[in-house]
Amino acid sequence: MTTGSSDLPEAAQRRLGEGAFSSGLSVNDFAACLQMGLEPVGLVQGFCAMQWGAYGVGLIQRGITPYGGSQGGYVENYQCPHGAMMGGEHRVWGQNYQQTWIESSWHEGFSSAYARMVEEASDLHADGVVGVLDTQSSLSEAGVIEFHLVGTAVTLKGAPVATTPPWTTYLAGQRLAKLFEAGFAPVAVIATVSSVRVWAYCVTEYLMGGAGGFMVNQNFAPQEVDQIVRAQSAARSIARKNVRDQLHGDSLHGADLSVMEREFEKGDLEVQTLLRGNRVRRFKAFEALPVPQPTVRLS
Amino acid sequence: MSDVTNDLPQATEHRLEELEKGLFTSDLSVNEFLLVKEAGFHPVGFVMGSSIYHTGIQTRKWSQSQELTKLTEAMYNARELAMTRMEEEAAELGADGVVGVRLDVNYYEWGKDAAEFIAVGTAVKAEDGVSRLNKKGKPFTSDLSGQDFWTLAQTGYQPQGLVMGTCVYHIAHRGIGQTLGTTGQNVELPNFTQALYEARELAMTRMQDEANELGASGIVGVRLEEKSHQWGSHTIEFLALGTAVTKGSEDVTLVKPVTIISLDN
């Protein structure tokens, strides 16, 4: 399958050509959509199964040179402060580096699944896709993950047939209604991943192993594990920059950032950050909302 | 037992007779009960249907992605039997529909390759005496909660039936050559994508076919479930479930939600 047009399976074409609409919306979200003048026309989805691995490069050089696995992007080197009188197991060099190939593969998987979902919505002449859910899950075979996006295609009641690609949003129901109320319209869902590999140098290994002492500082005081903190900070910063690059001057609404740390072996770990949200654009000036009504639930 | 009418066990007949005398049972919460009443219905009894089904085996080719039609058929028939029996119980009670339907599959140690398919829900009857039976003359079924049932009524839509589509699919294994060819790369595996895509679409198409048979204008609350049951990781059942709805003839003006501040903690 490619990300080009008309690469949807025959079963998808047949399903989308049928009469009844299907919708993944809850009844509350369904009612809220109707209230906004959005009519569901079909559940739309996109998939992409990818071979997946961390595939560290330059592992042979790990710990002995400052020229590790970097292939462009963020890199930081850490040098042993103990001099040359240490044993062979001693990590003289450590490195934090951005795994650009992981980020681009993730982008490829997500974008392919996204393009297929939008293609299904376009086939239905939808104006937008609401309530998008995206998941990445491991498949039956080791080393394979599947990107899956699903949402409900909607048309705007009374509007002419859409000729532009549909907008998409993670929001549905009242949260979407509040967005419109605040004067913003959804443009697209945005998601990005940043990946930073950490090859610990001796000081980080001592600190992570709980064995600081005189090898780390002379007064035995607790201290920050600088290399890991900087990797975490870099991963977040790269993710934010990647999202900003996709916004093209619009705003991000409902940002959700999650961080995953994965250890391959002692002193070798990956910090992965997933940042997603709704790209939104202002279409009218903000009007003050009605005064809220104080309410006590009796249940 | 077969899928013909009146094949309910004797104990069921006795329980339903008691319910016909006026006592009702339901698994609705108090809030759900209130909203079902508010929507113009009252519960008449807790109903269920069950089928213990031998799902058998089907040979599959190691390197070929394909639908396992016998298993698909088995999973489909078993659920249909459970649903039909639940509908029969509801019909015996003179109900117009069943709300809060749950459809489960249980496996027991004593039954190799056999599974119990159970459908349970609360039968309800319209208080205005007007029949709400669906196009097939059966009580409507839906997995909507009491709250959802009430909300749906406010939109001018009526549930027609819990519709489902299933597809049991074998995802091909990769050969050594294919695996070696992509070693060290993160790339799309088009055969996997295509197989999973096809399987889910087939399940959803079948669900929509059921909705069309009911003359529905749409399906709300669609869920896509995936389970390997006891078949191993490369054989997956894709199940699409939702409630088919039709739009009533009257135009409905939806009430605009009111902004509130909750004073609860």
Give the predicted TM-score (pTM) of the model.
Answer: 0.81
Which pLDDT value is given to residue B108?
Answer: 73
Interface test mutation site (partner A, options B66, B220, B234, B239, max chain A beta carbons within 10 A): B220
Report yes or no: B60 at the A interface, CB cutoff 8 Å. Answer: no
Chain B 78-117, CB below 8 Å of chain A: which residues? none
Put simply, the answer to whether B193 touches A144 (Cβ < 8 Å) is no
Chain B 143-182, CB below 8 Å of chain A: which residues? 144, 147-149, 151-152, 154-155, 171, 173-174, 182
Put simply, the answer to whether B217 touches A20 (Cβ < 8 Å) is yes
Residue of A nearest to B202 (CA): A11
B225 C-beta neighbours (distance < 10 Å), count: 13
Report, as ranges of residue numbers, the positions in chain B whose pLDDT lies below 70. 1-6, 109-112, 265
Put simply, the answer to whether A28 touches B254 (Cβ < 8 Å) is no
**B229 burial via Cβ count (<10 Å: 0-12, 13-18, 19+):** middle
| Candidates B189, B201, B256; nearest CB to A51 | B189
Which pLDDT value is given to residue A7?
Answer: 63
Q: How many CA atoms lie within 13 A of A11 on its CB side?
A: 19
Digit-by-digit pLDDT tens for chain A (299 residues) are 544 445 666 666 666 666 667 788 889 899 999 989 999 999 999 999 888 776 666 666 777 777 766 678 899 999 888 776 666 677 888 899 999 988 999 999 999 999 999 999 999 999 999 999 999 987 756 678 889 999 999 999 888 887 889 999 999 988 899 899 889 999 999 999 999 999 998 888 888 877 656 566 666 667 788 999 999 999 999 999 999 999 999 999 999 999 999 888 888 899 999 999 999 999 998 887 778 788 887 65
| Candidates A8, A15, A105; nearest CB to B205 | A15
Put simply, the answer to whether B184 touches A55 (Cβ < 8 Å) is yes
Put simply, the answer to whether B233 touches A141 (Cβ < 8 Å) is yes
- A-chain residues near B148 (CB < 8 A): 26-28
Which pLDDT value is given to residue A98?
Answer: 93
CA dist., res. A297 & res. B20, Å (int):
36
